[in-house]
Structure 1
Amino acid sequence: MASLTLNPPTPSLSLSRCFPKKPTISCSFTSQSHKCKREYTSVMIVPTGIGAAIGGFAGDALPVARALSSVVDCLITHPNVLNAAMLYWPMPNALYVEGYALDRFAEGLWALQPVHQNRVGLVLDAGIEQELQVRQLQVADAARASLGLPVVEYIVTDTPLKVEKWVDPETGQSTGRIKHPDSLLRAVQTLMNRSKVNAIAVVGRFPDDDTDDVDDYRQGMGIDLLAGVEAVISHLVVKEFQIPCAHAPALAPLTMSLSLSPKSAAEEIGYTFLPCVLAGLSNAPQYMVMHSESTDKGCIVARDVDSLILPKDACGGAGTLAFARNGKNKPLIIAVEENETVLDDTADKLGLEVLHVSNYWEAIGVIAAHKAGIDPYSLRRNKILNIGCTPCMPVNGHSISRERAIS
């Protein structure tokens, strides 16, 4: 395990945007309390379509996000963590950030601007059958009437998207493409121009699988065959328009299984996967290109991140590498051993300095200590050794000890 140096948080004036009405530096003095610390921000990543033991199924990393959000002041994570098909859980201090945007944020190219509300537009694939399309529209109306979500208009693409999916033979992760990406981009552009939407939900018609092809997934094993190309679709929109986007697949219902894994069950309790997407997009942060006029108006930037938590063998993503190479503003990076994936991008192979923990219980404990300004190793038995001594700089070719230097 690489050695870990815990640096005190770098002063910043931007984390308070998770709570716009609250000042960044909160200093209150009473007879019973003394609080003067900046807010603590953590990023949680579980990459899509890589068979993660936790987070590789139907929102099964959401309990981790809920627990983590109760410890940190601001949690930044992505749809794969927060989406659970028909289920979702509102967390006021969690930011729903699409994966491509999260990478650009980590690289310092984009900033996140929290909002109170987005105008959400819905794009439906022209390849969706009439009855299945009606089901999607009923979800949108239910979200508007029962949750008050600002889903303002929908559009059907002028050409079927023709979604294709497969498993990458080299990495073992799911991926894919859409044969008519221009049709999707035209639909998004029309909604933006006509209805002034600033967040996009996409529903693409996915090819139906034989039950045998998805049986492992329904049993809580293997990889999500849909997830990889879902990321391709949302990446395309976010890269082109710099607005929040998430995808929900349209599929014919599967026959009922009597031995369904709880990790996969959220996808089997309704006709669509759209509810969690509309809930997440309704107040997802806007993406601001750095150095634009808006980046100083209540934005969160990469240097505000205090910690990053991710699976042990999924450390090779662009966002993780950017955080790891962030110089003096590098966050504490925590790799969770229990969360295995089909990848083999470990910190050791990539030469990254991380803190390895056994499970998410330990990870959240480490983050609680880090937030409190405590060396996590001081909570373990015999992990704090005698303090070391660093020699002073050489003088005329001879190093001098610290004792001699101050005598």
Structure 2
Amino acid sequence: MATLSLNLYSPSIGHKCLFPKSHNSPSNFRISCSSSFLQNKKQFKKDYTSVMIVPTGVGAAIGGYAGDALPVARALSSVVDCLISHPNVLNAAMLYWPMPNALYVEGYALDRFAEGLWALQPVHQNRVGLVFDAGIEEELLIRHLQVVDATRASLGLPIVGYTVTDTPLLVEKWVDPTSGQSTGRIQRPDSLLRAVENLQKGSKVNAVAVVARFPDDDTADLDDYRQGKGIDLLAGVEAVISHLVVKNFQIPCAHAPAVLPPQLDTSLCPKSAAEEIGYTFLPCVLAGLSSAPQYLVKGNNFSKEDCIVAGDVDSVIVPINACGGDGALAFANRKRNKPLIIAVEENQTVLNDTPDSLGIEAVKVSNYWEAIGVIAAHKAGIDPNSLRSNRIKNIAPISFVPSNGFAISSAKSFV
């Protein structure tokens, strides 16, 4: 909102200044209504960056289904200056939501970013290509190609071409008996890597969507997922596929499974419904990849001025018992510019990697409502504990041990 102020111009010194309104103002100064000072206030404070992580295939109560963590990401993006998250959070099959200040970062790349090995370079748009599994039936392939054309015509997405693998990828999926999370493999990773390489050479793409033919789910397992229970059996091996591409080519990648439409279910859980309203899961992947940041590998002469690095992250939000991933641990163990770690108790998973079990210093919150409040306070430069009853205690002295081995207090205690 503009505020009334004096916009003063002095011919002798040649610059503008702000002056309270007064009848005694010099005659060579003129009054105007200006908000330029307020508009430039960001120059006094760095942008606030948050990372939101919900691991894939671990049965997360929020984010373990068809884009059901996307509302959280939307709310977070309205509070922070920059939100960094990954496809499991931002994808919702046929649905997606554009957030100008959100960066769509594949999970393997997010881990390397957290470790300080890679940086993120925001872009206006990418040249996106697609790799289709040769095992996809003709009719199902046509359905996917129609979705691609629809996103090009109706959304203007920069999709430049596609290729088909030279042999079926042969996807296998299972549940890890130790961790309880979904995982899997493709029997022909070489075929996928050749297809991506040919696509890069032929169409100069710098982002890739992969569509692999997945085996049809067991009826009982599918019914649980459709009712908002259990884990996503497809998600684990989807991560394996995208990790493989990103590790080898260092470009944005995301995966959309090709499956036959299931039978109509009249009691579908809303958390799983986004996957039931079309023939493919591809629209959200193409929308995300179209403006995903490029990955810059440390040592390749990237400049911090034109990219985002791990030290820019101010806070990281994770489920309470899913803090053991490479990215979360890397952020938690930073020696400099350590971000605030926020663990959400309501978002339970099949894992047991809590902050306490891993020795991680974290702010524990009951739900994402509280997490957003903590981030708003943190961004404002306020200790979040000062917003709670009786959370601020008397300040304590800080002791240090000099070379003689005797502890010395650096301040007197007034407790």
TM-score w.r.t. the length of structure 1 is 0.90
State the match for 1:94 in structure 2.
102
2-side partners of 1:212 and 1:387: how far apart? Answer: 57
- Paired residues for 1:265-284 under 5 Å: 265-284=273-292
State the match for 1:191 in structure 2.
199
User: Do 1:166 and 1:225's aligned partners in 2 also have CA atoms closer than 8 Å?
Assistant: yes
State the match for 1:45 in structure 2.
53
DSSP-derived class of the 2:271 partner: coil
DSSP-derived class of the 1:329 partner: coil
| Letter aligned with residue 326 of structure 2 | A
State the match for 2:373 in structure 1.
365
1-side partners of 2:279 and 2:306: how far apart? Answer: 39
Task: Sort the Cα spacing of 1:42 and 1:139 in 2 relative to 1 into closer, same or farther, 3 A.
Answer: same
Task: Sort the Cα spacing of 1:392 and 1:152 in 2 relative to 1 into closer, same or farther, 3 A.
Answer: closer
Equivalences, count:
378
DSSP-derived class of the 1:76 partner: strand
| Letter aligned with residue 109 of structure 1 | L
DSSP-derived class of the 1:328 partner: coil
Q: 2:78 aligns with which of 53, 70, 75?
A: 70
Structure 1, residues 189-227: CA drift from partner, whole Å, max 9, x if none?
001001000000000000012322211100001000000
RMSD: 1.9
State the match for 2:338 in structure 1.
330
1:298 equivalenced with 2:309 (yes/no): no
How far 1:51 sits from its partner (Å)?
0.1
2-side partners of 1:311 and 1:396: how far apart? Answer: 44
2-side partners of 1:204 and 1:304: how far apart? Answer: 35
Task: Sort the Cα spacing of 1:214 and 1:402 in 2 relative to 1 into closer, same or farther, 3 A.
Answer: closer
Structure 1, residues 70-105: CA drift from partner, whole Å, max 9, x if none?
000000000000000000000000000000000000
1:258 equivalenced with 2:272 (yes/no): no
DSSP-derived class of the 2:270 partner: coil
DSSP-derived class of the 2:336 partner: helix
User: Do 1:309 and 1:334's aligned partners in 2 also have CA atoms closer than 8 Å?
Assistant: yes
User: Do 1:289 and 1:295's aligned partners in 2 also have CA atoms closer than 8 Å?
Assistant: no
- Paired residues for 1:204-219 under 5 Å: 204-219=212-227
Structure 1, residues 124-147: CA drift from partner, whole Å, max 9, x if none?
000000000001100100000000
Q: 2:165 aligns with which of 134, 157, 180?
A: 157
State the match for 1:224 in structure 2.
232
- Paired residues for 1:374-385 under 5 Å: 374-385=382-393
2-side partners of 1:235 and 1:399: how far apart? Answer: 49
Q: Percent identity?
A: 75
| Letter aligned with residue 177 of structure 1 | R
Flag structure 1 segments of 5+ consecutive residues without an equivalent: 1-26
Task: Sort the Cα spacing of 1:349 and 1:152 in 2 relative to 1 into closer, same or farther, 3 A.
Answer: same
Which deviates the most, 277-286 or 322-331?
A: 322-331
User: Do 1:72 and 1:371's aligned partners in 2 also have CA atoms closer than 8 Å?
Assistant: yes
DSSP-derived class of the 2:240 partner: helix
How far 1:31 sits from its partner (Å)?
11
Task: Sort the Cα spacing of 1:359 and 1:397 in 2 relative to 1 into closer, same or farther, 3 A.
Answer: closer
1:145 equivalenced with 2:156 (yes/no): no
Which deviates the most, 74-83 or 322-331?
A: 322-331
How far 1:296 sits from its partner (Å)?
3.8
| Letter aligned with residue 63 of structure 1 | P
| Letter aligned with residue 119 of structure 1 | R
TM-score w.r.t. the length of structure 2 is 0.88
DSSP-derived class of the 1:256 partner: coil
User: Do 1:204 and 1:248's aligned partners in 2 also have CA atoms closer than 8 Å?
Assistant: yes
Q: 1:122 aligns with which of 109, 123, 130?
A: 130
| Letter aligned with residue 241 of structure 1 | F
How far 1:66 sits from its partner (Å)?
0.1
State the match for 2:12 in structure 1.
none
Greater relative contact order structure (CA < 8 Å, 6+ sep): 1
Structure label with greater radius of gyration? 2
How far 1:396 sits from its partner (Å)?
6.7
User: Do 1:115 and 1:286's aligned partners in 2 also have CA atoms closer than 8 Å?
Assistant: yes
How far 1:402 sits from its partner (Å)?
5.2
User: Do 1:108 and 1:301's aligned partners in 2 also have CA atoms closer than 8 Å?
Assistant: yes
How far 1:150 sits from its partner (Å)?
0.3
2-side partners of 1:205 and 1:392: how far apart? Answer: 61
| Letter aligned with residue 346 of structure 1 | T
| Letter aligned with residue 74 of structure 1 | C
Flag structure 2 segments of 5+ consecutive residues without an equivalent: 1-34
How far 1:29 sits from its partner (Å)?
3.1
Q: 2:178 aligns with which of 155, 166, 170?
A: 170
User: Do 1:29 and 1:35's aligned partners in 2 also have CA atoms closer than 8 Å?
Assistant: no
How far 1:387 sits from its partner (Å)?
1.2
How far 1:293 sits from its partner (Å)?
2.0
